[in-house]
Amino acid sequence: MLGCPIHDAKLELPLRAVAPRLPNSHWLCLALAFHDSSARRILTTMSLACVGAYAGHFDGRTMGAIHDWATPENLQPEPITVEIWRDLPEEFCRQVEIVNGQAVRCEAPRRTHQTAARRLAAVLEAAAADYVALHPVSCLDVSNDFDVILWEVPAATIRRPDLALHNCAPDDVRPLPASYIRVIIEVVSPGSDKTDRVDKMGEYASAGIPFYWLVWITDNRVASIDVYVLDHAIEAYRLLRTLAPEDEVSVLEVPVRIKLPWSQLGALVR
């Protein structure tokens, strides 16, 4: 009986198309229902989408909001240019990055991620203040979770780094041009590993940003920081140094003198 077919081929073909993974036992129920004239009349009035949802349920999947959203009508209608981006709602821009004109959703960071970025921002603020005190004509600033335009053509790419040390700019200069950035920093999260190590590393190098830090978190503390410097000859980063808590204070001399007290980078979440 498990192999009992639906005898009406016109009904079987569309049903198989929307429920290809439905187990044989459930196909038997449908087959018997279609064989009965009363049940057949009821089932023939059902939406094929409902049958597809039924199949998804028995396949261990839930047909939820993502399936309602995933329609051709919801595809991005055109590439996002910088001009378009500036006119978009700020709440939208805070939740996405633009990669070659396409909006890519940013995942909300964990508390350890946020705390690491905040404490590193304090370190950079102190370094910037010391540098400006020695070079009064200079102006450096520190920003976190903000928009940086890497390039506009052939299609705009706007990233939201976790943190950056950059030349000063008025608040209405947004997104900030990559040429302003001295150091750009990403705190690596479990879901951002490939994006930070591969995608953003290549993009930041192509945009000419001179220094890139990758911050690694383990066991509720900053475990290490990989410091990369841009090699202009090959337009790619090379590892300059890996900072680790074996030193009580790590010191970098470029692009400005930065003192990194590791005591401030532990116990990220209390």
pLDDT value of residue 191: 87
For residue 187, which phi and psi values (nearest 5 degrees)? -90, 120
| Residue 151: φ, ψ to 5° | -160, 160
This prediction's pTM: 0.76
H-helix or E-strand spanning residue 48: helix 48-58
Q: Can you give the pLDDT at residue 63?
A: 62
Residue 102's nearest CA partner among 142, 150, 172, 157 is 157
Q: Is the pLDDT of residue 201 over 60?
A: yes
Q: Distance (Å, rounded) from C-alpha 30 to C-alpha 39?
A: 9
| Amino acid, res. 175 | P
Q: Dig out the tokens for 27 from the structure.
A: 């196909």
- Give 114's pLDDT tier (boundaries 50, 70, 90): very high
Residue type, 215: V
Express each pLDDT in 115-169 by its tens digit: 999 999 999 999 999 999 999 999 999 999 999 999 999 999 999 999 999 999 9
Cα–Cα distance, 162 to 147 (Å, whole number): 10
Strand partners, 211: 183, 229
Q: In this predicted model, what pLDDT tens digit does every residue of 254-268 receive, in sequence order?
A: 999 999 999 999 999
Domains of the chain: 9-69 (no CATH), 75-105 (no CATH), 111-265 (3.90.1570.10)
Model pLDDT for residues 57-90, shown as the tens digit of each residue: 445 555 688 888 899 989 999 999 999 999 999 9
Write the DSSP assignment of 196-244 as a string of letters: IIIIHHHHHHHTT-SEEEEEEEETTEEEEEEEEEEETTTTEEEEEEEE-
| pLDDT at position 44 over 70 | no
